[in-house]
Each structure stands twice: as structure tokens, then as C-alpha cells.
Amino acid sequence: MFDQRLTQGFSSLLMKYLPKLFCFEVKPDSLYARTDFISLLVNASMLNCYLDGLGYASRDLGGRVPTGETALSYIKSIDRYELESVTWILLEEQLNELKVKGLLNRPVPIAFDWNDQMFYGDENTTDMVNGTKPKDGSSYAYQYLTASILVDGRRLTIALIPIKSREHLLDYVGYALDRITAMGVMVRYFVFDGGFSSLELPAYLEKRGFRYLIRFTPNRVTKRMNLKDGESARYPCDGQFRVVRVDDRETGMDYLFITNMTCGANRLLKRYKRRWGVETSYRMHNSFLAKTTSKNYVVRLLYYAVAVCIYNAWCLFNTHGTMRKAKHLIVLQVRLLVILASFLGETMATHHPPT
């Protein structure tokens, strides 16, 4: 069994942030406290299961747990824009944990991407659903633009923006940049994958004075350039960026980048590969994502925000572990810590009294 101090430590860190997302009022005559609803969703997130199934199973085992239906009725009462606002506040507070540890005293790379949560149903009658690459029997998804800092092997998600339409992707990026700047993050450079390939994005970043690296989709112009490995050329437009081709000898893949950085091709490839850690973070988000068939967007957004919060708490707890030379927690340990917290009597409610 894990050291009880470890269990208490992770639960305390998680509950330092998580309750902010549950911005709903519990009825005065309710049989359950707000912490009961938080515990239900956190446990469902850890087990990647549905609230209904977990609620019924827990009640059958004698637990004092609200039903999934009751929990969802409260969740649906949350104002979407308030939820988006408190999510930004939570992410900034988690970012400040790294600042306190002195890990953001220098400029850091920031990687952008988006995460698809596949949708099944009538996309024409459901808000916030976009077309995407076919996956798992669907071509539609709820999408979230995210940005993560890359520092000392740590990947902390610092931006989470719901995407209503990919046609306005540049506006979403601009909004994220404004928020990141307001957080006081010193940016070394931005990294974008091929999904952001365009001429508008580098022109926008140039105007704002940022350095960037964007994986570019080949077009007729780049094909006429006929670049070889390590060669670069200025793209024929008003911007100051160049096109660079890099062949990865380890994987056999070739890359085409648009950038305004002056470093060599191999350094560009190395910097781009650092963003692959962000892909890992998205898989980790999904490791802490509760299941639902609800088409209510507030439900979807809360579930994903909770997953990001848990993931960030895991990263921060490992950061604390690094400072004290403790062993890093793996995801399975995180799951067990939360489950053990209940058996050891260290429930969520012990850290925050019912409201």
C-alpha cells in the first residue's frame, strides 16, 4: 500500500484547484453536499466510466453517493461562460505553482494543438460539433484548442479553448496568445503541427513579434522549390519566414517547416520533436476523462476541464517530487491514490467542507 502521506498529499493538491470548476449551487434541502458530486465525477474520471454506472455500483456497495442523473442535473445548471472563466483562473493558478518553484524564470517553448472528443449523433442539431478526420466510426467531434508549456520535461496545459468553428482558428490562437501573455509567461517560441498550416498564421505571429515553427503542408509553391534535406528558401509572400526541409534519418520521415528562426535544420527538427510530448499529454487527458453520451456542451466541457485539471495536478505533484528527489507517480498510481483516499478516510470532503 502507498504511504498514506503520499495519498493525502496528492488529494490535497488536487482539491486545491478542482472545486473551482463545480460552479453550481446545491439546493438547501439536498441529501448531498457539493463535495459528493465532486467525488463522483473525479472517481468516474479516474476509472474512465459513466457517472450512472459508478453511482449505482457505489450505492449497491453501501456508499452514500448521488445518482448520475442527479449529478448531471446540477452540472447542466452551470453557466457555460462562467465555467470557461473559472477554467482560465484554475490553469493560471496551476501555472503559478511552477513560477513559485522557479521553473519559469526563463523563456519557454509553447506548443499548440487541439484535441478531438468524438461525437456520435446528429451533428446538425448539436452545438459545438465540428467535422474532423474519421476515427472510431465518426467524422465529427467536440474540439478544444490547447496550449502547453514545455519546460524541463514537464508539459503543463495552460490554455483550454472550446472551438466552435475551425474557420476561425486564427482568432482562437490570438485569444490564447493574449491570455498567455497576460499570465506573464515568457515565450521562447511557439510550435504548431500540420493542422495549423497556413500563410495567415505565420504572418500574424510575425506581426506580433513571436518566433515560431510550423509544420507546413506541401503545396504547388513548395514543390517548385524542390528543396533537399537541410535546404531552405524564402517563401514568396510579404512575410519574412522561410521554408525548410528536414529529413529525419531515424524515422525515414521528411518534414517541411515554415519558420522565422535562424537556427539550422537539425535544430529545428529537434525543437519540433519536443512538441511530441504534448501529444502524450493529450493521451493523458483522455486517461482522466469520464465517459458520457450527453450532448449537453456544459457537461462535455466540464468533463474535459476536470481531466485537464487532474493531469496538471499529476504534473505538479511530480514537480514537487523532483524538488524533494522523490519517485515520480505514474498514472496507475494516481488512480490508486484517489481510490485509496476513500478507504483511508481521506475523502474529498475532508479537504473542503460541504457548501
Q: Quote the pLDDT of residue 8.
A: 66
Condensed to tens digits (0 to 9), the pLDDT of residues 293-328 reads 999 999 999 999 999 999 898 888 877 554 444 455
How far is C-alpha 45 from the geometric centre of its chain's CA atoms?
15
pLDDT band, very low/low/confident/very high, at 1 (cuts 50, 70, 90): very low
Q: How far apart are the first and last CA of the chain?
A: 32
Q: Where are the alpha helices (DSSP H) in 217-352?
A: 220-225, 265-274, 276-287, 297-323, 331-343
Q: Quote the pLDDT of residue 238.
A: 77
Condensed to tens digits (0 to 9), the pLDDT of residues 130-178 reads 999 898 889 999 999 999 997 766 689 999 999 998 888 899 999 999 9
Task: Match 487527458 to its residue by C-alpha cell.
Answer: 285
The C-alpha atoms of residue 225 and residue 233 are separated, in whole angstroms, by 8
Domain boundaries, the chain: 4-80+297-350, 195-264
What average pLDDT does range 28-39 have in this prediction? 91
The C-alpha atoms of residue 123 and residue 199 are separated, in whole angstroms, by 30
Q: Quote the pLDDT of residue 320.
A: 58
b/e code 296-312 from CB counts within 10 Å (16+ = b):
bbbbbbbbbbbbbbbbb
Query: Which region among 11-15, 45-49, 189-193 has the lowest average model confidence (pLDDT)?
Result: 11-15
Length of the chain: 355
Q: Quote the pLDDT of residue 352.
A: 42
Amino acid at 41: L
Task: Match 449497491 to its residue by C-alpha cell.
Answer: 60
Q: Quote the pLDDT of residue 342.
A: 55
The C-alpha atoms of residue 148 and residue 332 are separated, in whole angstroms, by 23
In the chain, the DSSP E strands lie at: 108-118, 129-135, 138-151, 154-163, 187-192, 212-215, 232-234, 242-247, 254-259
What average pLDDT does range 69-76 have in this prediction? 95
Q: What does the block give as the cell for 120?
A: 456520435
Per-residue pLDDT at 289 exceeds 80: yes
**Long-range contacts of range 91-97, CB-CB < 8 Å, 24 or more positions apart?**
91/157, 91/158, 91/159, 91/160, 91/308, 91/312, 92/158, 92/183, 93/17, 94/17, 94/156, 94/158, 94/309, 94/312, 94/313, 94/316, 95/149, 95/156, 95/158, 95/183, 95/185, 97/316, 97/319
* 3-state secondary structure (DSSP) of residue 145: strand
The H or E element containing residue 241 is none
The C-alpha atoms of residue 223 and residue 242 are separated, in whole angstroms, by 14
Q: Please tell me what DSSP assigns to residue 183.
A: T
Task: Match 478531438 to its residue by C-alpha cell.
Answer: 116
What average pLDDT does range 98-127 have in this prediction? 89
Segment of 106-115, 328-337, 341-350 carrying the highest mean pLDDT: 106-115
Q: Which residue from 198, 192, 210, 209 is spatially nearest to 279, judged by alpha carbons?
A: 192
